[in-house]
Every structure is written in structure tokens, then in C-alpha cells.
């Protein structure tokens, strides 16, 4: 399950909640954040927030399977691919955080 409740409970903002606007559509993302809605596994899959759902007892072994596949990639390929895949999300969070702290 996903929910952005701690930021409201502790009156903090670090830009992470804004990722919902980038990961799912902006309207649905704003609704989730402002109403502190809980997104269950099935809905997260439908929204493409997660790529697969596995039973709890298979979670760790599946994570190891994925990690094993990634570690078989050439190290530079894996490293640069990760940078490329996360660059836009990092920039998005940085922009939101800068705007927040600027006031």
C-alpha cells in the first residue's frame, strides 16, 4: 500500500509527495496526496506504479531474482542506465524542493 500521510502528520515537505504527480497523472496524484488516499497493490499495478505484485512470502526471493539479473549486466551499463532512468524524477523532486524552500 502507498500513502503520503507522514508529510502531513509532521508538517514537512521534501518534494517526495510531488512524485505522485510525475508517476501517475497530475490530477490523480494531487488527489492522492491531498486526501492522503491509500493506493492498494491492485490499484498501484493498474496505475503502473509497480510492475508486478508477488505474495509476501515470495517478495524477498523475487527481489533477489531481479537483483541477480541486474548484477549480470556490465557494471557501467547498469550504472548509467540507472542514472538515465532516474534523472527526470530526481530533477523533478529537486525543482519542487527548491521552490518549496524558496518560499
Q: Which three cell numbers stand for residue 86?
A: 532516474
Contact assessment for residue 40 and residue 53, using Cβ atoms and an 8 Å cutoff: no
| pTM for the whole structure | 0.63
| Percent of the chain at pLDDT exceeding 90 | 38
Reported as a pLDDT band with limits 50, 70 and 90, residue 62 is: very high
Q: State residue 8's pLDDT score.
A: 63
Q: If you average pLDDT over each of 1-10, 53-62, 80-89, which comes out highest?
A: 53-62
CB-side neighbour CA atoms (13 Å) of 87: 7
Contact assessment for residue 20 and residue 92, using Cβ atoms and an 8 Å cutoff: no
Q: State residue 57's pLDDT score.
A: 97
Write out pLDDT tens, residues 66-77.
Answer: 999 999 999 999
Domain ranges for the chain, please list them.
5-102
Which range has the worst mean pLDDT, 25-29, 36-40, 95-99?
95-99
Amino acid at each position: 500500500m502507498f500513502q503520503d500521510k507522514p508529510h502531513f502528520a509532521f508538517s514537512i515537505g521534501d518534494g517526495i509527495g510531488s512524485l505522485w504527480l510525475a508517476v501517475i497523472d497530475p490530477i490523480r496524484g494531487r488527489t492522492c496526496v491531498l486526501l492522503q488516499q491509500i493506493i492498494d497493490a491492485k490499484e498501484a499495478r493498474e496505475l503502473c506504479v509497480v510492475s508486478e505484485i508477488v505474495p509476501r512470502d515470495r517478495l524477498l526471493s523475487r527481489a533477489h531474482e531481479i537483483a541477480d539479473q541486474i548484477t549480470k549486466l556490465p557494471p557501467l551499463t547498469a550504472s548509467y542506465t540507472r542514472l538515465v532512468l532516474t534523472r527526470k524524477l530526481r530533477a523533478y523532486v529537486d525543482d519542487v524542493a527548491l521552490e518549496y524552500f524558496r518560499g
